[in-house]
Every structure is written in C-alpha cells, then in structure tokens.
Amino acid sequence: MELAKRRGFLWPSFELYGGASGFYDFGPLGSTLKNKIVEKWREHFVRREDSLEIDSPTLTPEEVLRASGHLEHFVDLMSECGKCGQSFKISELVKERTGLDVEGKPREEVEALLEEKGITCPDCGGRLGKVLEFNTMFRTTIGPGGRKVGYLRPETAQGIFVDFRRLWRHGRERLPLPVAQIGKGYRNEISPRQGMIRLREFTMAELEVFFDPENPTHPSFGKVAGERLRLWRAEDEMKGEERMVEVSAREAVEKGMVCHQLMAYYLALTKRFLMDLGLPEERLRFREQTPGQRAHYSRETWDAEVRTERFGWVEVAGIAYRTDYDLSRHAEASGESLSVVLQPGKRKVVCHVVEPSFGIDRIFYCVLETAYLQGRKGLRFKKELSPLEVGVFPLLRRDGLPEKAREVAELLKQRGFWTEYDEAGSIGRRYARADEVGIPYCVTVDHRTLSDGTVTIRERETARQVRTPLEKLPSVLSSLLKDELRFEEAGTPLEEKEEGEEEEEGEEG
C-alpha cells in the first residue's frame, strides 16, 4: 500500500480534510489500471458474448427499490457502544470474536448470542446497546420539497430490469439474452475497516442473463465444458468442512453440484476472466453461499474468491440465480406485464435470470497485490494490463537525443501505447523507476539512433536488450505486449556493456 500510494495507484479520499473511511481515490496509474480491468471485463462479458450494454442513473426512485426488495432486505445488524458511541457491524464483530457466521440470522437470535458470549466493544470494552436493523442504502430526495425519496443504487441490476421490455425488443427477442452494466454502486457500510475490500462507493460490473426457465442451457457451453472448477459446496461448509471438489464445468452440471448449465457456463467464464488478469489459478475458487448468506432474490449463489496475502480469501464476484424474482416483483408493483411470448408454441413465460456480478475495486486490489508479490523489483503486471506499457528515454540530455526521444514517444502514443517519457537522472535510475511501476519495455534513444535509425528495447523481466529499427518499433512492441513474439526475436541482441560505455557521469541533475 505504501508503494501504491507513492507511485500514484491509490490515495485515501478527502485526505486534505482528514479522510473518510470506505472511500479511495484512484491516482493516475491506478485509474489507467482500473480502466484496463474494466475493458477486459467488457471484452469477456460484452463483446465476445453479444451482450447488450446499458448505462442507467445511479440515483434511483424509492418505488424501484421497494419493488426489488432492497428497502426491506438490504439491512445489516448494528449496535452502538454505550460508552464510546462507536457503531459496529454485528456480523463482523461476531465473526472476529467467535468465528460464527450470523449473516442472515434474525435480530433477536443475534442479540441473545451477543449476551451469551459476552461480546463487548472492541475499542473500549464498553457494553453494546440494542441490536438494530440498519438499511445500508444512502437515502436522499429528488427535486425540491423533499417529498420524492430516492437512493443511491445498491446494485446496477435494477436499471436493467426496469428496461427489460425495451431490451427484449432491441435484442430481437432472443434467449438467452445477456445485458451488461458497469458503474458505481453504493453501500453505507456501518464501520468499514478493511481498506479496498469494504467500500461505501464502488464500481460494479454486472451481467443479467435472461433465459427460458424450461431451457437453462447456453449455446456456447461446449467451449467451456472442460474448464476445471474448484468448488466449495454449501453442504460441506455447513458441516464445517473446508473441502474443495475439483470438477469440469460439465461434471458440475451432470453431478448436480451447480443448478444448471447456464450457471456453470458463467462460472467457467468468470474463471477465464480472472486468469486473464494474471491472477494465478491456485489462488482461485468458487464458494457456494449457504441459505443464510444468500441475498433475498437468490436461489443459488457462487462466490468467486481470490486468496490474498493481506485479507485471506476475498469474494470478488457473485454468480447468483435470481430466478424470475425481479421481473415478477416489478410487474406486480408497476402493473405492467413483463412476460414474453416464445416461439414456436406461443408459450408465455417470465424470464429467469442468472447474474454474474463483479466488484471491480476488489479485483483491482487482487491484481495489484499479485503484481507486488510476483515482482522482485517492484510491480509485475500481466504485460497488457500495465498502466504504463513503454518508457522512452534519451540516453543523454544533449546532442539532440531528447528531441529524437520525444519524437519516438509521440509516435508510440499516436499508435495507442501508454507511454512515459523520462529524461531525469541516470539511465540506471530511470530503468529502476520504470521497473518499480511495472513498465514491461523501455526504449532508449542514443547516438546510434541518429545515425542508423535503431533504438534499444529493454525487457523488464530479464534486463536483456535488443536493437530494433524505429520503423518496426510499434509492431514489435505490440506483439511483445501480447506475448506473440519472443524477446530474442524482437531485434538484434545487444551486449551488456554496449550502452554503458556511452553513459556519462554528471547526468544526475
């Protein structure tokens, strides 16, 4: 986190005024990294899947969230310390003290448990007050007068459900119909103390996949059927056993471990997406939520979890079978029909929904931590995810080298590379700075560049160097970043000493 702050990945929000917990700013490099993660998600879940993507408001009128059940169910149990006044989320407190999971348990039962276990304020040891239900949506009013109540959305999904009729027509009445939305979600956490893992404002990427309940299959299932899934089933968790079962997506369906093919399809796709971000397979698993842990709309939910050094296993996505809950509730509340007529046979159905929902900030944390653990001399991202892809340096700050190097940097930016130009300090110092933030390739312009039009490319991982003609540079870099070209094929290998000879003292300033 120290490195992340120093090099512009993450900054505490509102620092000037003492900060506010549950919020983070993405600095310049963090912003680019986050955008790249979002683009990857879009590639996996929108572009390749022919999904429809929409972008609806984050501020939502009360009637929508009453119909969706969030007014009633989006609650956490909390208690205030009678002595110091600090508020606590009870489920976290009980988990910390006793290891017990009280998520979804009734208020009275939890209150009795606090009493029985003698749980007191972790800050001052004071007695805790009554256990209260706290709705974790941020409430506001829309327009003057304060009569129309609204909330910052707790999920992007509702924006999709209320647009269902238009989406159905726009998608030319096909099933399964996947609809995506990426944007901010909000949760007024009672006492967030886990940095990036518990935020009050976060970025979600969600897919609502509408399908015929009599045909829960996916036309492309064959492509992922062999994908291995590590599953921790609810029945094992409820017996207190942390037992993983490893099966293919096909076996998971055939053996009834996962409710149907469509669900298994998205588990497999989720795994592929996470691995494409450079997260190691051995740190991934799917955990089935127990009935008490599941959200009010879900019949079966699998959490994709990533093992981190700092927080242990972290849930980064939930794949929920929401049934026809949302469409039926909105049809009932609005008085409008949200059923569709399927051909052939003119069968009238209310579509069911599978929802893969991703927490982009948590994924960001996992990617950053992985880059830190894997990089010996700073961060090491999967190359195409690096917020800076190429560093461009003039060897010296004279003889027309900076001008030429700026020209090269300009060319690379025009060609779409995230490029950083750096001329401050010795070349060794510049390489070290580039290595620290994970720039996979650095290009150095020297005297030879002026005479024969070639540059040096240095690979971060091995510090090896090759000499490549300028006109080939964009295509070579592009292939290197996609791992389509081996480094030794990127140009003529350079002797270790060759560039060192030209380097001179007195360049530090």
435: left (phi over 0), alpha (psi -120 to 50) or beta: alpha
Residue 89 carries which side chain, given as an amino acid letter? K
**Is there binding between residue 183 and Zn ion (CB under 5 A)?**
no
Angstrom distance (rounded) from CA 81 to CA 121: 6
Number of residues that bind Zn ion (CB under 5 A): 7
Q: How far is the CB of 200 from Zn ion (least distance, A)?
A: 22
Which region, judged by CB under 5 A, interacts with Zn ion, from 31-39, 76-84, 221-229, 442-450?
76-84
Q: How far is the CB of 130 from Zn ion (least distance, A)?
A: 15
Instruction: State the CB neighbour count (10 A cutoff) for residue 143.
Output: 8
Closest C-alpha among 39, 60, 38 to residue 363: 38
- Residue span 124-163 as binding mask against Zn ion, x where in contact by CB under 5 A, dash where not: x-x-------------------------------------
Residues 336 and 161 sit within 8 Å (Cβ to Cβ): no
Angstrom distance (rounded) from CA 358 to CA 271: 12
Minimum CB distance to Zn ion smaller for 28 or for 85 = 85
Q: How far is the CB of 114 from Zn ion (least distance, A)?
A: 14
Residue of 20, 84, 424, 432 interacting with Zn ion (CB under 5 A): 84
Q: Tell me which DSSP letter residue 230 carries.
A: E
Q: How far is the CB of 81 from Zn ion (least distance, A)?
A: 3
Q: How far is the CB of 362 from Zn ion (least distance, A)?
A: 29
Which region, judged by CB under 5 A, interacts with Zn ion, from 122-130, 360-368, 458-466, 483-491?
122-130
Minimum CB distance to Zn ion smaller for 83 or for 105 = 83
Q: How far is the CB of 274 from Zn ion (least distance, A)?
A: 39
Residues 153 and 159 sit within 8 Å (Cβ to Cβ): yes
Minimum CB distance to Zn ion smaller for 20 or for 124 = 124
Minimum CB distance to Zn ion smaller for 114 or for 196 = 114
**Is there binding between residue 121 and Zn ion (CB under 5 A)?**
yes
Residue of 4, 37, 65, 81 interacting with Zn ion (CB under 5 A): 81
Describe the chain by its helix, strand, coil percentages, rounded to 5: 35, 25, 40
Q: How far is the CB of 265 from Zn ion (least distance, A)?
A: 48
**Axis-axis angle for helices 90-98, 107-117 (nearest 10):** 40
Q: How far is the CB of 115 from Zn ion (least distance, A)?
A: 17
Task: Outline where 43-106 has alpha helix (H).
Answer: 62-67, 70-73, 90-98
Q: How far is the CB of 93 from Zn ion (least distance, A)?
A: 12
Which region, judged by CB under 5 A, interacts with Zn ion, from 79-87, 106-114, 128-136, 151-159?
79-87
Question: At which residue do the structure tokens 């955990």 appear?
Answer: 287
Angstrom distance (rounded) from CA 497 to CA 198: 50
Q: Strands, E, within 174-311: which ranges?
A: 177-186, 201-211, 228-232, 245-248, 284-288, 300-308
Which region, judged by CB under 5 A, interacts with Zn ion, from 75-83, 96-104, 221-229, 479-487?
75-83
Residues 445 and 391 sit within 8 Å (Cβ to Cβ): no
Angstrom distance (rounded) from CA 393 to CA 404: 10
Q: How far is the CB of 21 from Zn ion (least distance, A)?
A: 17
Q: Provide CB contacts within 8 A for 53, sequence distance 6+.
A: 42, 46, 179, 180, 181, 182
Residues 388 and 439 sit within 8 Å (Cβ to Cβ): yes
Q: How far is the CB of 363 from Zn ion (least distance, A)?
A: 34
Minimum CB distance to Zn ion smaller for 127 or for 448 = 127
Minimum CB distance to Zn ion smaller for 119 or for 392 = 119
Q: Tell me which DSSP letter residue 197 carries.
A: G
Residue of 123, 309, 483, 504 interacting with Zn ion (CB under 5 A): 123
Question: At which residue do the structure tokens 């090099």 appear?
Answer: 7
Q: Provide CB contacts within 8 A for 156, sequence distance 6+.
A: 56, 181, 182, 183, 185, 204, 206
Q: Provide CB contacts within 8 A for 3, sequence distance 6+.
A: 9, 372, 378, 379, 436
Minimum CB distance to Zn ion smaller for 121 or for 442 = 121
User: What residue ranges bind Zn ion (CB under 5 A)?
Assistant: 81, 83-84, 121, 123-124, 126
